[in-house]
């Protein structure tokens, strides 16, 4: 459901100066709290990964099924004797990488398509509109299942790219409808009359209005991508080589951690995912409030 966060379409937010955006964001409690949690997770995981070293990921380093608080493996071990803490230090940055790559691809591709489709109109726009509606209607998880069941043995970045390739429809539609309404505004008309080229108007006049919204959408896509990756992993289509939070859950379920009462094995990635989602959601709410002044006044 996280992908269905409602987006205020149609209203163009006022252009914000870069400096005032920074000030607004740093005084927005939701944004700051979410951002701090996110960064803490990332830094702790990265530093932890360096401290533990690559050897800690091997199976059999520890006795199997150690409970929480075991010396050297404070979060316990799997039934293969893998250190769950070490897995977590690899899984958190990898899951974040999936979100970052997929959201970047989806937002950039979708944003550009929507921008040019909405601005230039014509036949290209008509075709793109059908294409956008098609990809909005189809649960993209299905195409992803199809593709990743064919291409086994992919790494985390490749999976992220594939997820991103199916994440452009929402931004494309929303940007397109915003551009359609912005195009009728006087300042764009003035730009056209004064002989600016199409590209100049798109970048100079339209882009500043779209950026705050694209930022909020980026976080939204970030959440959706992590969600999709973990869903794919639980279906058995994740990266077999690298650890992500979804793959940790997959392996735990696969080896019957639930039924053997090895709760630390499945609960660790579950809690990590929930914390990550909440942090990102707070950042999203904060960005939304800054991008959309109407939400800000409501508190």
Partner 1 sequence: MIFWRYVYERLIICIATVVISVTIVFFAPRLVPGDPLGAVTLKLSQMGGNRGSPELVAEYSRRFGLDKSPVEQYVAYLRQLAQGDMGYSIASFPSTVGDLLKGAIPWTIGLMLVTTVISWSLGSIIGGVVGWTGGRSPLLQALVPIALVLYTIPYYILAIVLVFLLAFYWPIFPLTGAYTIGAQPSLTPGFIFDIIHHAALPALSIVLVSLGWWFLSMRSLIVSVKGEDYMTWAEAKGLPRGRIFWGYAFRNALLPQATGLALSLGHIVGGQLVTETIFGYPGLGYLIFNSIKTLDFPVIQGSILLIIVSVAIVNFVLDLIYPLIDPRIRYGAVARS
Which residues would be at the binding site for partner 1 (CB under 8 A)? 1-4, 6, 130-131, 133-134, 136-143, 145-147, 149-151, 177, 227, 230-231, 234-237, 249, 253, 258-259, 261, 263, 266, 270, 273-274, 277-278, 281
CB nearer partner 1, residue 193 or residue 259:
259
Q: What's the gap between Cα 146 and its chain centre?
A: 21
CB nearer partner 1, residue 6 or residue 53:
6
Task: Give the shortest CB-243-to-partner 1 separation in angstroms.
Answer: 17
Task: Measure the CA–CA gap between 185 and 189, rounded to whole angstroms.
Answer: 7
CB nearer partner 1, residue 130 or residue 193:
130
Task: Measure the CA–CA gap between 251 and 122, rounded to whole angstroms.
Answer: 50
Task: Give the shortest CB-6-to-partner 1 separation in angstroms.
Answer: 7
CB nearer partner 1, residue 23 or residue 29:
29
The backbone region for 65, taken as left when phi is positive above 0, alpha when psi lies in -120 to 50, beta otherwise, is: left
Instruction: Copy the structure tokens of residue 172.
Output: 């494309």
CB nearer partner 1, residue 32 or residue 278:
278
CB nearer partner 1, residue 61 or residue 281:
281
Task: Measure the CA–CA gap between 176 and 186, rounded to whole angstroms.
Answer: 18
Task: Give the shortest CB-258-to-partner 1 separation in angstroms.
Answer: 6
3-class SS of residue 69: coil
Cβ neighbours for 138, distance < 8 A, ≥ 6 positions apart: none
- CA distances to 115, 233, 273, 298 from 128, rounded to whole Å, are 11, 31, 35, 36
Task: Give the shortest CB-58-to-partner 1 separation in angstroms.
Answer: 24
- CA distances to 61, 272, 273 from 86, rounded to whole Å, are 11, 13, 16
3-class SS of residue 70: strand
Task: Give the shortest CB-89-to-partner 1 separation in angstroms.
Answer: 20
Task: Measure the CA–CA gap between 299 and 297, rounded to whole angstroms.
Answer: 5
CB nearer partner 1, residue 47 or residue 124:
124
Task: Give the shortest CB-150-to-partner 1 separation in angstroms.
Answer: 5
Task: Give the shortest CB-122-to-partner 1 separation in angstroms.
Answer: 15
Task: Measure the CA–CA gap between 181 and 136, rounded to whole angstroms.
Answer: 21
- Tell me the CB-side half-sphere exposure of residue 4, using CA atoms within 13 A: 3
């Amino acid at each position: 459901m996280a992908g269905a966060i409602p987006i205020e379409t149609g209203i163009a937010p006022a252009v914000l100066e870069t400096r005032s955006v920074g000030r607004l964001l740093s005084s927005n409690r939701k944004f700051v709290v979410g951002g701090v949690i996110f960064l803490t997770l990332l830094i702790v995981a990265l530093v932890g990964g360096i401290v533990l070293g690559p050897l800690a990921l091997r199976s059999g380093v520890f006795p199997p099924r150690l409970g929480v608080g075991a010396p050297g493996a404070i979060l316990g071990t799997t039934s293969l004797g893998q250190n769950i803490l070490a897995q977590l230090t690899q899984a958190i940055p990898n899951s974040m990488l999936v979100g970052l790559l997929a959201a970047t691809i989806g937002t950039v591709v979708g944003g550009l398509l929507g921008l040019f489709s909405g601005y230039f109109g014509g036949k290209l726009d008509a075709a793109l509109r059908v294409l956008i509606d098609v990809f909005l209607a189809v649960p993209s998880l299905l195409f992803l299942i199809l593709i990743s069941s064919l291409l086994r043995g992919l790494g985390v970045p490749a999976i992220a790219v594939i997820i991103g390739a199916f994440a452009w429809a929402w931004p494309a539609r929303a940007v397109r409808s915003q551009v359609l309404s912005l195009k009728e505004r006087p300042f764009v008309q003035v730009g056209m009359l004064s002989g600016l080229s199409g590209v100049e108007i798109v970048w100079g006049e339209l882009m500043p209005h779209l950026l705050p919204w694209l930022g909020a959408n980026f976080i939204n896509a970030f959440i959706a991508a992590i969600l999709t990756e973990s869903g794919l992993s639980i279906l058995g289509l994740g990266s077999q080589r690298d650890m992500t939070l979804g793959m940790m859950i997959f392996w735990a379920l696969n080896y019957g951690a639930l039924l053997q009462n090895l709760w630390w094995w499945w609960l660790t990635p579950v809690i990590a995912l929930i914390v990550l989602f909440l942090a990102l959601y707070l950042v999203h709410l904060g960005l939304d409030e800054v991008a959309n002044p109407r939400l800000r006044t409501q508190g």
